[in-house]
Each structure stands twice: as C-alpha cells, then as structure tokens.
Structure 1
Amino acid sequence: MGMEAGAPGPSSRKRKASAHEAPAPAPTAVEAPGAEPTAEDREPPLSGADGDGGGAGGDRISDLPDAVLGDIVSLLPTKEGARTQVLASRWRHLWRSAPLSLDHRYFLFDEEGLDVAISRVLAAHLGPGRRFCAPVYHLPGDRADAWLRSPALDNLQELELCSFSYMLPYPPPTKQLPPSAAFRFSDTLLVFTIGDCHLTDDITQVLHFPKLQKLALKRVLISESSLHIMIAACPALECLLIRKSSGFRCVRINSISLRSIGVSGYSPRGLNFEELIIENAPCLESLLILGSCECGLISVISAPKLEALGYLSSHYGTRISFDSTVIERLSVDRLTTAVCTVKILAVDMHALSLDTVLDLMGCFPCLEKLYIQSTGPGNTNFWRRKHRTLIRSLDIRLKTIVWRCYRGIKSHADFATFFVLNAGVLELMTFEVDVEDFNEEFCAQHRKMLQVDSRASRGARIRFTSDWSYKYHMDFSIHDLGPADPFERTYPLKGDITFVLC
C-alpha cells in the first residue's frame, strides 16, 4: 500500500507555472496610467527561468515577445496581473495593454469597496478586454452601463453578469432588465453568463451572437419563444446551461453545433421548466442533470454521439426517455433498445443498490466510466448467489469507477467487491472517503474486505482519497460543460492525501 500527496491537475499546474514566471510582490494599488517609475521598476531584471541568469546574464522571460507576455499576464488574477508592473521597466506597460481579465471576487474584501476597486481597474487599463465578471444588479443609477461601456472592455470575449454571492445582497425579488450596454459585445463574445434578470421578448428579438460558444442562463425569467430565439441566435453554440430559470415550460433542442447541455429545472415562482426534448443534436456529447432538477421529462430523440449522462437520481421524479426506453428514479422500464453510445454515467442514489446499477448497465452496455454518489446505508447487496447466472454472461466494460461519499459499511463494501472481482478490464477504482474515517488502518481493513488480491483485473489500481467532493455537481458552471468527461475533476482539494492499495 502506497501513500502519495494529491498532485495538482493540468489546470493547477498551468496556474502555478504562470505565477512562477511572474512572482507577485507585496500588494500595491493599481496605478493610474502615466505614473512615474517606482524604485521597483529600476531594480535589475528577473533572472533566467532556470536560475542561472539565462546563461548569459539575461532575462529569458522578459525576452519573450509582448504578445506572449501579455497572454501570461492576462491569465493571472486581476490584482496579480496589475502587480507585474513593478517587476521591471520591461513589464510596466504589459498589464495595461494585455487583454483585461477582471473578476469581482478578487475585490470582495478590498478596503475601498468593490465598486470603487472595479472602477479604478477599468480606468487604469487601456483595453482590450478578455473577461469581465461583476455583479451589476445591486449598483445604483447607471453605474453598470458605465462599467460596460468602458474602453477597457472593448472586444470582450467573456462576460458574466450575476448578482448572487455570499458577500453581496440577493438580487431584487422583481426581475430587472439587464444593462443595455451588456449587448454591445455581441459580435465578439465567446462566453456569456447572464442571471438574475428578465430577458423580455423585445430584447431577444434583436440579439445575435455569431461567435458565442458557451451560454449560461441562471435565475433568468424568459418566455419559451424568446428562449428558442436566443438559442437560434447563437449559430456556433457548443455549451448550454439553464439553471433555476422560469417563464417557459418546454425547451426543444435542434442544433448542429451543441456538444454539451446542463439543466436544472427548479424555480421558486412562475411557469417552471418541465420538459426538455432533444429532437436533433448530431454533435451532442454530454447531457447533465444538475442538482434538484424538477424537469419532469427529458426525451432524447436524436443524439447519435451522446457519451456522458448524469446525474441520474433516485431523489427526484425526472424521467429520461430514449426512444421506447424510459428511466425514472434509476428504474429502467420497457427496455427494448440498448443505448450503446453512452460511455460515461453518473448516478446519485440514497440507498445504494447493486440491482439498480446492473439494470442501468444493461441499458448502457458500453459503459467505461461510472460515477456513484451515495450517502445512505444501502441495500443488502448480496450478489454471489443471486447474480451467479448473470455474472457468466455479463460483459463488464468498466475501466474507471469513482465513488463519492464512500462510507465503508458492509453494504457499500459488498457492492464494491462485485466490481473488484468481476470487472475484468478495470483500470482504476477511486473511493472518496470522509476525512474523519480516512486513515491507514481504514485502507488496510478494506484491502481485505474488498478482496483486492483476488481482483479480476490484475492491473487495476484501488485508490482511497480524502478529497471528498459530495454534491460537486451542484456547483457546475458553464466551463464545466466543456471537457469530454464533465464529471472528472482535474484538481484536488487542499490537503488531499491518497492511499493506493495496488
């Protein structure tokens, strides 16, 4: 049994590399354009990236073209990007000319206040803009329009306008109209998240986003006809997220570009989202049902490339229909045609049931990845006699199993042992364990309980981790819809420790 510290995933490595190339000094305020060089500006340039002075005493990082350095700076958080101005005179102009990426969450604790801090950044930056994330609905007067019309945001690629934050007041109970200036970027936007507002028919009739790839509607009031008009106005749309929005009953998807859809149907008032019909989506690869989705029926008529599906839940009454095959509360009814395209499945069940999972595997016979989330005590899950005949004929193609909220009780261990002993091509089985239960003794005990030494796949790795991601699917953003496997986390939580049994 080996122990390894959680290693950062690709996204974390990317962030850390950028921070190493441009280390941040002590906090300083964003200066106005044209300020005199400071003492830090006159300091010697950075040493070479390899620590040997660049071989000839030069600064290899600063030798990069402005365009490359600008991209590095724009990937940093707003404050850290601005602070690169004090590294050396070579860097002084880069932040002001690099595409601006401004996220209000980095300014929530500023002494001068969020509104003042954002206004100062916009005044100091020359543009263009890359990303702007700000709560606009609590602002007085025309402040939101003033921000959005700033030259620092010209040619903006990503815009997020939502008010919800634990540090900010809730949006007003009556939905407001979005700031009119928000739509001046329609020709350049690639990502648009809009929330806490009323998108009227007058607004949507004139919208057109020729380059938009990702659209998220959060707590938006919009009519059914306007919603379809808005989707049609995005000919390059690849990812669509609809969360807790209202004003429509049914959404029909006919798109040759959509690759990923995420839906959450709960809304506290108004006409609720009850039905999703995917009529024609030839490129659709993932369908996500998020949180407490009360969308009553999801019908998949034509999605020949659908590979990722979830979370199927035993908690809510959503029915999913594939032709004549219906899945409701994880129960498969009238199975007449297997869905062979789905390779990634995520399920959320209170009482863990091997019978239920085997039924789903019969519905999706080509599954390669299975994500399980279960916190309940589980059923008896005895299988050695009950499924003896089935085991001889069942072709288990699973290569990866991720179990979120594994408790280690007998019913959970019996369930896991079935796959340890019968999944012949299994490569990795990960158990995410509550940190209170997580220790070497727990892992050693489960090596015996799971009969790891008798596993069907001799190359399979059994991994226990304290990185517990319970209800992770509640926090999906529009960017989580992009990857081929939307349920896979690419970074560990702080303090993650892993035990690998084999």
Structure 2
Amino acid sequence: MVGVDRLSDLPEPILIHILSMLREGKEVVRSSVLSTRWRFLWMSVPVSLYYHLPVDQGENEVHDFVTSINRELHYWRSCQKIRRFTVYFDIREEKFVRDVDLWVYFATKLANVEDFTLGLFFMNDQIYEFPQFAYKNTSLRNLLLWFCQLNPSGSVNWSSLVSLSIMYLKNTTEGVMEKVLAGCPNLECLRLHYLWGIHHLEISNVKLTELIIMDYKTDESDIWLEIVAPYIQNLQLMGSCSEIRLRNVASLVSAVLSLDFDFGDGDEWQKESSCLKQLLHSVARVENLKLGPWCIECLSILELKGWQLPPSSRKSLQLNRNFEQLDLPGICRFLQSSSNIETLVIDGFNQDTRDLLSKYTNEDEQRRRFETHNYNCSLLHLKTIKFINFLGPLRKNKAVLSSVKYLLKHATILEKFVIAGRYRGAVASQDFVKMELEFPRFPRSSPHASFIFSYC
C-alpha cells in the first residue's frame, strides 16, 4: 500500500460529503493544496460563511473588515453552493451602505443562499434600507434582518421563505408587513422583535402557524396593535407587549405569555392589567398555555381585586415563576378556571425578586386569605404535576408545601408527581431524603399518585 492515496481514491460525492463537515469555509478551501485531485473540490462543497465585526472597533479595523469581506466574496462566487451567509456589522458611516448592498446582492442574486442573516448595528438613528432588488428571490428559506427598513416599491417574491425574523422594525409605514407577507406563500414562522408604531397586523398566510413578538412600542398611549391571525397555531408574546390585542386567533393551539410589565401606578396599571385580561380571554381555548412571572404576579393582584378569570379548555399549563406564598391565591384561582387540565408544570428557574404584591397586601394577610377563602376546584383530569428547577431545600419553602398539599387534595386521578430541584452543596441529599418520607404522607385524593424525586 506504499504510495497509494486511499483517501483521494474515494468517489467524489464521498469526498465532498467529508469536506462539508468542516465548520469554516476557509478550511474547505485549504483542502485544495492536498493534491491535484482536491484542487477544485471545494467549489462543489456546500459551505457556511460567517463574518462578525465586534462593536467599538477603530476606523482601521472597520475598513479592514469591509475590505476582507469584499475580497473573499469575489472568490466565493466560484462556489456552487453557499448554504448560509451571516454578517454582523456596525455601520458608522454612510459610505459603507454600498458595501452592505454588495453583500445583500451576493446573498440574494449571485450565491442564492438559503439562510441569510444581516445583523446591522448603528451608532445613530440611521436605518439601512433593504434594497429593492432583494425582494425578488426564490432561494431564501430563512431570513433574519436587524435594523433594516422594509419598504418594497413593488410586489415581493420570497416564494421559498419558511422563516422570517425581523429585529428592530421601526418607522415602517402601515401595510408594509402585509405586503411582505403576501409575497411569502410558504412562510411558516414569523418573528418580530421590537416593533415600533405598527397599529394593525393581519396575517392571512395559511401555512404561517407560528408567530413570535417581543417588545412592542407605540408613541400614542391610546393606540394598540391589533393582530388578526386566523391560521396561527403557536403564539409567543414576550417582553413589553402591554398594547397588543388579539382579534382573531381561531386556530391557536399553544400560547406563551411572558410579558414584562412596568407595573406603574394609576393609569399605567389599568392599561397593563386590561391588556392581560384581554389576552387571557383570547387564549382561553388554547390547549397549551405558558405564563411568565410577571403575568402570574399580575394575576395575584387581580384576584385580590375580585376579578374572575374566564373558564378555559386548556389541557397543559406551565407557570414559569419561583412563586411565593403571596402568589398562591392567584394560582389557585387560575386553576379553578382550568378544569380540563391534564398536565401542570411549575418551573422555578426564574429567581428574580419582586415587591409588587407587597404593595397590595402582606404575607400574613394573604395566608389568611388562602386559608379562609374557598379555592376548591375539581381537577378531574389532572394526571401529571411537575415542580422543576427550584433552588434550595423545598421542605422550607412554604409556598411549595402549601401548593403540593392543595394539588394532592384536588387532583382526583393524579398518576405522577415529579419534583426536580437544583441544589448547591451537600444539603441536597438530606432534603430529598426527608421529602421522600414526608410528601407521600400528605392527604391525597388519588390513591394511585406516585412521587418521583430528582435533583442536580
């Protein structure tokens, strides 16, 4: 076998497959020096190009970065398949806009990439306007844009686009999003981060089933963003979204409400609580619901004020909050409206400290309220309960003990109760030994309920 290059003797498709496993495109190109057989193989290998200029770079570094990309893209034009093209760049001067146009042209017209990320950052209020030629492309499947102004003059044709993510969409005229969506007949997922000034969003794409919105802002206090999305099945509202109304989400199956309210006084509180009320009415029919910590805290305050939650048909409920004793009445009242629930998950990963509830009541008063008020409910379908990501000894957590006892009392067909904690130090094993002995002794309605303990 001396002098035989068994690797180069492999069929070309296998060699191309091997080279495609290299992480960087430059590594693929370097393989051309191995032998004459490998000289042009790199042109047939699907590659991913990634360029990132860290912020706060000097003028020379910025100039070298731009020059380097332009030079490399000239050679990458010979590559038959560029799978992914990613650029993160801090535009400081208007003169670099032409270079960005060149990169967009390379991605959408020359290379016909499938995944294109254009992450632009600005030192001033200037926004890069996405070029008109880029609205016609049949190769893009995933598009992510940061700080790009969308304003197509004609129709949009992104017929292969499956996922569209737009971050920091500001100063966009009404109807632009509908015009863009009309040119994406195969779109399945839409992500909008930091919307500003849009008052109406209508999504009529039949295949678009997932909508994610994070942070919505408006300069007008009495104007809300109305969302009409009859075919959306999965919805996530995160961050500051206290001015959103859902007008038509008839196909919704799963919803995540992880809102971050300011919880101001007076009119601000009325607006935020009104938003949550309307959202809870809109998602009352979803099968799977997840609530973030601020929503749960708001629920507790609304419960104190006597607000009645709408009945729901949800089957799965996840509460993401390391809740305290003050939260129990609001959570129990929420469970009362969830008689069809089958799975309940309480995730205590969020360890943020909050003092909002203390402004409305104190722990002793809330405990008396919890003990004296009627929070009986019929959890006739609840089979699985999970307490996960709680930090520290659970036996000393009054809220956990009270909620465990409450759930065991009202879950009549409970099959599995999982308790998974996160610990620091050797206290873990001691706490779990005591829990394994103590918790199964609590009164319970279901004789078949079993406890499963785990920790990390």
1:349-388 matches, cutoff 5 A: 353-364=327-338, 365-366=340-341, 368=343, 370=345, 372=347, 373-376=350-353
- Identify which of 143, 163, 169 aligns with 1:214: 163
Distance 1:278 1:100 in 2: 39
**Alpha-carbon distance in structure 1 between the residues aligned to 2:391 and 2:51:** 33
| Number of equivalences | 394
Amino acid at match of 1:172: N
1:98 equivalenced with 2:45 (yes/no) = yes
State yes or no: 1:193 paired with 2:144.
yes
List runs of 5+ in structure 1 lacking aligned partners: 1-42, 46-56, 165-169, 465-498
- Higher helix content, 1 or 2: 2
Q: CA deviation at 1:417?
A: 3.6
Q: Secondary structure at the match of 2:128?
A: coil
Alpha-carbon distance in structure 1 between the residues aligned to 2:202 and 2:391: 35
Matches within 5 A, 1:325-364: 329-330=298-299, 331=302, 333-340=307-314, 343=316, 345-347=318-320, 353-364=327-338
Does the aligned pair in 2 maintain the 1:374–1:406 contact within 8 Å? no
Distance in 1 (alpha carbons) for counterparts of 2:70 and 2:402: 56
* CA-CA distance at 1:425 after TM superposition: 3.4
Of 289-298 and 148-157, deviating more is: 148-157
Instruction: Give me the whole-angstrom Cα distance separating, in 2, the residues matched to 1:59 and 1:419.
Output: 69
Larger radius of gyration: 2
Where does residue 119 of structure 2 map in the other structure? 162
Does the C-alpha gap of structure 1 residues 361 and 276 become closer, same or farther in structure 2, counting only changes over 3 Å?
farther
Name the aligned partner's letter for residue 116 of structure 2. L
Give the counterpart letter for 1:198 in structure 2: Q
Aligned-partner residue type, residue 65 of structure 1? I
**3-state SS of 2:129 partner:** coil
**1:173 corresponds to 2:130:** no
2:209 matched residue in structure 1: 259
Does residue 298 of structure 2 align to residue 307 of structure 1?
Answer: no
Superposition RMSD in Å: 4.5
- The C-alpha deviation readout for 1:32-89, integer Å capped at 9, x for no partner, is xxxxxxxxxxx997xxxxxxxxxxx87999886355335534xx24555556667787
Cα distance, 1:86–1:118 mapped onto 2, change above 3 Å: same
Q: Structure 1 residues 181, 94: CA separation in 2 closer, same or farther (over 3 Å shift)?
A: farther
Preserved CA contact (<8 Å) 1:191 1:212? yes
Q: Deviations over 1:83-137 (max 9, x none)?
A: 6667787666444322231222498899895334433442332232221121356
Gaps of 5+ in 2: 264-271, 286-290, 358-362
Q: Which moved more, 1:99-108 or 1:213-222?
A: 99-108
1:82 and 1:95 in contact (8 A); partners too: yes
**Residue among 397, 405, 419 paired with 1:410:** 397
Q: Greater RCO between the two (CA within 8 Å, min separation 6)?
A: 1
Q: In the alignment, is the contact (CA less than 8 A) between 1:315 and 1:350 conserved in 2?
A: no
Residue 84 of structure 2 corresponds to residue 131 of structure 1: yes
Q: Tell me the secondary structure at the aligned position of residue 165 of structure 2.
A: strand
TM-score (norm 1): 0.63
Identity of aligned residues (%): 16
* Counterpart code for 2:327: S
- 1 CA distance for matches of 2:418 and 2:308? 32
Aligned partner of 1:227 among 177, 200, 204 = 177
Shift of residue 350, structure 1, vs aligned partner: 7.3
Asked if 1:242 corresponds to 2:203, the answer is: no
The aligned counterpart of 1:439 is 425
Question: What is the rounded CA distance, in whole Å, between the counterparts of 2:173 and 2:50 in structure 1?
Answer: 30
Give the structure 2 partner of residue 494 of structure 1: none
The answer (yes or no) to whether the contact 1:265–1:295 under 8 Å persists in 2 is no
Structure 1, 365-374 or 232-241: larger mean CA deviation? 365-374
> Are the structure 2 counterparts of residues 355 and 145 from structure 1 closer, same or farther at C-alpha, using a change threshold of 3 Å?
same
CA distance in 2 between partners of 1:388 and 1:407 (Å) = 29
* Letter paired with 2:352: T
